[in-house]
Structure 1
Amino acid sequence: MKGQFIAFMIGLLCVSWACSEENNHLPIIEPEDHGVFTDSEGREFPWVRYGNLEWMTTNLNIELPKEDEWTNTGCEISREEDRNPIDQELEIKQNYETFGCLYTYEAATSAIPEGWRIPTDEDWQSLEKSMGMSNRELNLTGWRGTNVGTLLQQEEGTMINLRTGGMGEYDGYGYFTPYFIYVYGFYWTATPEKEGSNLNYCRQISYKSDKIARTTVDRSKMLYVRCVRDVNNETNK
């Protein structure tokens, strides 16, 4: 039994060492500039600059008004199902602060603050290249870019701070259903798969992968949004 315990502890130390080694080999990448944008209603959104773009470092969290309790706005806050009302209300509050809001593509276009926009597929590729992704991988679909997913989840360092808040959709009865919370994070791009398509490119991160996926999703699904704006030193505040 003692020998088994010692072997177990050695295994734990090896895992910890491997994780430490992996983190130590990550490149140090920091933004060229950073600041805080304040909208017309006094809401503050921190941003960082990479190349010719400024990226918000939090997921968009502007809720859209409902006409009545039965009308879906295309904007929801992720939560786990089958919880008592008190626990779910607390979870919704916490997830709003951590993950922001999930949006259908149409709803996202209505929630963007003035002067900002949903990033295109090319905008994401520019950011990924800043994280060290090779030109060969940029246009691939699926998981690509060793360490890029990890770097984009850094709260410090790159300061991009992508979150694994899952995704969601409305079912056939109009009820909101969340998926993959704490496991994956899905982010919109403004780029359709092809002209006339109802699919847009998106980005997917995972808590257990150091890569980032480039894939497509129907615009009716609900994903997170990272707003971007083009650099303009005279007007950006």
Structure 2
Amino acid sequence: MSYSQTYTNSEAQADSKAQPSVQDSEGNSYRTVKIGDQIWLAENLRSTKFQDGSAINTAFIPDDDENKLLTYGRLYNWHDVVDERNICPEGWRVATDADWQTLEKTIGMADADLNKEGWRGDNDLAITLKEAQPDSWFKKFDQSKVNQSRFSARPAGVKWGRFYLTQGIYTEFWTSTGATDKKAYNRTLVYPWWNPHKGEINRVKISKDYMFSVRCIKI
């Protein structure tokens, strides 16, 4: 089953976590979801404009393919993520590192792991954020846990300079939390059969010039 098919099926499911949809400044509509006490976009941001209508510098569609826009959203560098004009819909903001830690705790991450860097989380908690996680030769997953949160993460990949990489392999989400002059915190989920970290969530400091997916959280 393709990710677009999974999206169609999951969208049709009745779910108490679902919240009213929201629109950005261009009229793009997004599903939203309540996870614990937080309300998140349940799709990656697709906007090319800030709240004031000015153009976002980055906003790359995977493979420059408009057919992939609804599936994967757009990719942004960190400088656009933290621009005061705000790339999220009105009443929303880009999730911080602390917001992600709250989400991780809600889905079951141990307190001792929240501030660690690298791959974190036990009991395959990352798959509760993923729209799909196929079994592999080496590991079978409890499919009833896949996308339990209805966060619906998809492997959109990453852009670095002229290079677009890892579609179908990784999804990388920016946080709005800087770490150093040149790096900020992000989150990574991994999907392929050969990677042993499919059930974990990666928290690292990484160059602000990469282009990653963005999820907004309600203010």
Q: Specify the TM-score bucket, using the shorter chain as the normaliser.
A: 0.7 to 0.9
Q: Does the Cα contact within 8 Å between 2:22 and 2:89 map onto a contact in 1?
A: no
Cα distance between partner residues in 2 of 1:96 and 1:40: 17
AA of the residue aligned to 1:152: L
Q: Which residue type is aligned with residue 206 of structure 1? A: V
What's the RMSD between the two structures over aligned residues? 2.4
User: When the two structures are superposed, what TM-score results if normalisation uses the length of structure 2?
Assistant: 0.73
Equivalent residue runs for 1:188-203 within 5 Å: 188-194=174-180, 197-203=181-187
Residue 31 of structure 1: CA displacement? 6.5
User: 1:42, CA displacement in angstroms?
Assistant: 3.6
Listed as ranges, the gaps of 5+ residues in structure 1 are 1-29, 66-71, 80-88, 171-175, 231-237
- In the alignment, residue 46 of structure 1 is paired with which amino acid? R
- One-letter amino acid of the structure 2 residue matched with residue 228 of structure 1: I
In structure 1, which of residues 179, 184, 198 is the aligned counterpart of residue 170 of structure 2?
184
1:141, distance to aligned residue in structure 2 (A): 0.8
| Structure 1 runs (4+) greater than 6 angstroms displaced | none
Cα deviation for residue 32 of structure 1 reads 4.8
Among the aligned pairs, what percent are the same residue?
Answer: 29
Query: 2:129, 2:148 within 8 Å by CA — same for their partners in 1?
Result: no
TM-score, normalization by structure 1: 0.68
Aligned to 1:58: 43
Q: Secondary structure at the match of 1:123?
A: helix
Please tell me whether residue 148 in structure 1 is matched to residue 125 in structure 2: yes
Q: Does the aligned pair in 2 maintain the 1:31–1:159 contact within 8 Å?
A: no
Greater C-alpha Rg: 1
Task: Kindly indicate whether residue 94 of structure 2 is the aligned counterpart of residue 73 of structure 1.
Answer: no
Give the AA of the match of 1:199: K
Report Cα offsets for 1:70-121 as digits up to 9, x if no partner: xx92221122xxxxxxxxx6xx123212100000112234522221111110
Whole-angstrom CA distance in 1 between matches of 2:168 and 2:57: 24
User: Aligned to 1:219, which of 208, 212, 217?
Assistant: 208
Aligned pair in 2 of structure 1 residues 47, 169: CA closer, same or farther (>3 Å)? same
| CA deviations over 1:153-206 (Å, ceiling 9, x no partner) | 037531101111111122xxxxx3211111011000011114xx2211000000
Count of residue pairs brought into register by the alignment: 178
In the alignment, which residue of structure 2 is the partner of 1:48? 33
**Greater helix share, 1 or 2?**
1
